[in-house]
A and B are shown apart, each in its own frame.
Chain A
Amino acid sequence: MPDVFTSPTVLIQPETIPVTDPLPKRKHQPSEKMTPFATFCRFPEGVRFQNQEEGEDVHLVVRRHFITNIPWILTGIGFSLLPLVFFLFAPFFDSNSITISPIAILFLLLFYYLIIFGYLLVNYTTWFYHVGIVTNMRVLDIDIENISTKNVAATNISGIVDVEYSQGGILSNFFDFGNVNLQTEGLKPNFEFIKVPKPARVTDIISDLIAGRKSND
């Protein structure tokens, strides 16, 4: 009996099968160099993290806006000028009442400046490592409250149900920084990037990744 219809043979190449997990790698996006004071870095060069998976690309690294560091910088400068003020007014006090040796005063002064150096270093380190990382697979929130308290949380991009940002106050509007809130599904904790620059752009990037993930699924 002659064939009425013969279906054409289609060969499926393995390369054409869409990969659902992870998201396709980014295409020819220019990488940004991350400087020691960078607060918003798209596709940063040389940034990796613990438990990073193969094929996982860092899309965004955000830190608190640099303007939020002004209080501790001014405090450090103020306290470093305090001994100068003291020595300026020292001749007005009765010198006979102070019997500490000059070498002891020198040591006290060195110790004082060491404490100020430590204060500045700890604050800078806390700010430096307090980052939010967005990759093509997940979002990481590394919170450093102080030098001895850290909280590292991560969630899959597909687990994020809503992204929103808030800006309040004159400073945050003037310098364009705000809080980005990531709402996760179920009982998982929500994520918040606090006082990050360009919150609208951060929200946009994460929303695009969620949309890409959903269309991929």
Chain B
Amino acid sequence: MTELFPFLTPDLINLITKIVFITLIGLYLIFVIIVFNNVRSLRRIVIISSAAGSPLIQFLVVFYLLITILLLVAALVLLP
């Protein structure tokens, strides 16, 4: 690839990868926040007991949000 595009040094490729990845995950984080808010509003409309799995969904959505934030922070720090 470097033969076709000589200006594409490994450092530049890494930088482009990092910018693209952080932009994608940043946009995805907005989607996850929308999901989080909607699940909270759904839980207010229908209250289903713990045995039926409603708190499990809440836990999974919180986990989903935390993992997304963690991945964004880790990408900012760890990606070269």
B and A form one assembly: yes
Residues of B within 8 A of A175 (CB): none
| Main DSSP-derived SS at the B contact region | helix
| Main DSSP-derived SS at the A contact region | mixed
**Interface pair B80/A101, CB less than 8 Å apart:** yes
Q: Point out the residue from A45, A99, A100, A122 that lies within 8 Å of B49, measured CB to CB.
A: A45
Known contacts A100-B17, A107-B21, A121 near B61 by CB under 8 Å: yes
Of A15-23, A111-119, A186-194, A197-205, the one touching chain B: A111-119
CB distance from B31 to the nearest CB of A (A): 8
For B, the interface residue count at a CB cutoff of 8 angstroms equals 43
**Interface pair A152/B51, CB less than 8 Å apart:** no
**Interface pair B45/A103, CB less than 8 Å apart:** no
Of A71-79, A82-90, A125-133, the one touching chain B: A125-133
Residue in chain B with minimal CB distance to A35: B52
**Interface pair B79/A104, CB less than 8 Å apart:** yes
The 0/1 profile, CB within 8 Å of A marked 1, for residues 16-57 of chain B is 011001001100100110110011011011111111111011
Residue in chain A with minimal CB distance to B46: A49
**Interface pair B57/A128, CB less than 8 Å apart:** yes
**Interface pair B49/A142, CB less than 8 Å apart:** no
**Interface pair B48/A46, CB less than 8 Å apart:** yes
Q: Which of A57-110 contact B (CB under 8 A)?
A: 97, 99-101, 103-104, 107-108, 110
Q: Which of B1-21 contact A (CB under 8 A)?
A: 1-2, 10, 13-14, 17-18, 21
Residues of B within 8 A of A101 (CB): 14, 17, 80
**Interface pair A147/B38, CB less than 8 Å apart:** yes
Residues of A within 8 A of B64 (CB): 114, 117-118, 121
Q: Point out the residue from B10, B31, B42, B49 that lies within 8 Å of A125, measured CB to CB.
A: B42
**Interface pair A142/B74, CB less than 8 Å apart:** no
A148 to B14, CA, bound (A): 35
Q: Which of A9-39 contact B (CB under 8 A)?
A: 33-38
Asked if A214 is at the interface (CB within 8 A of a chain B CB), the reply is no
B interface residues, Cβ below 8 angstroms from A? 1-2, 10, 13-14, 17-18, 21, 24-25, 28, 31-32, 34-35, 38-39, 41-42, 44-54, 56-57, 60-61, 64, 67-68, 71, 74-75, 78-80
Known: A104-B80, A147-B39. 15 other contacts (CB 8 A): A34-B52, A35-B52, A37-B53, A47-B52, A48-B46, A49-B46, A100-B14, A100-B17, A103-B80, A107-B21, A107-B78, A129-B46, A147-B34, A147-B35, A148-B34
